[in-house]
Each structure stands twice: as C-alpha cells, then as structure tokens.
Amino acid sequence: MKSDVMPSIVQMEYGVLQQLVKEVKETVAKDIKMPAVKSKSSFGSVDMWNIRRNAKSAASMFKG
C-alpha cells in the first residue's frame, strides 16, 4: 500500500487551525413547539383547467 502524503497547499497558523477544528457543544431546544403541518393538497381537475385557461390567454398575447 502506497502511503505517500502530499504537502498541504493551504498554509495556516496553528491557532487558526485549532479554531477551525474546535468542537462546539450545542444544546437542543426542547421547549419549542413546531406548528402543525398541514396536509398536502392534491392536484385536481380544477387546477388543470386553470393551467390550460391561463396558457390559452398567454398564447393569445403572442399571436396578436
């Protein structure tokens, strides 16, 4: 197995490197309540009718 290590292209100071790799302790907010998720509406025939109607009116603008 080859174990050649290439030197790092980016050179940085030791203090900067330590700041970048420092572990940050985080807490999880347990008392926040998320709003109820609404059910996703289905795509109906009325939606398709509106799309077709709007496409026809948009196409008439370009023909004239």
pLDDT, mean over the chain: 79
The tokens describing 27, both together, are 């807490």
- What are the backbone dihedrals phi and psi of residue 41, each rounded to the nearest 5 degrees, phi first? -75, 150
Could you give the CA distance from residue 30 to residue 22 in angstroms, rounded to a whole number? 25
The answer, as to whether pTM is greater than 0.75, is no
Tell me: the pLDDT tens digits for 23-53? 878 877 778 887 777 767 788 888 889 988 8
Exposed e or buried b for every residue in 38-54, given b needs 16+ CB within 10 A?
Answer: eeeeeeeeeeeeeeeee
How far apart CA 11 and CA 17 sit, in angstroms, is 10
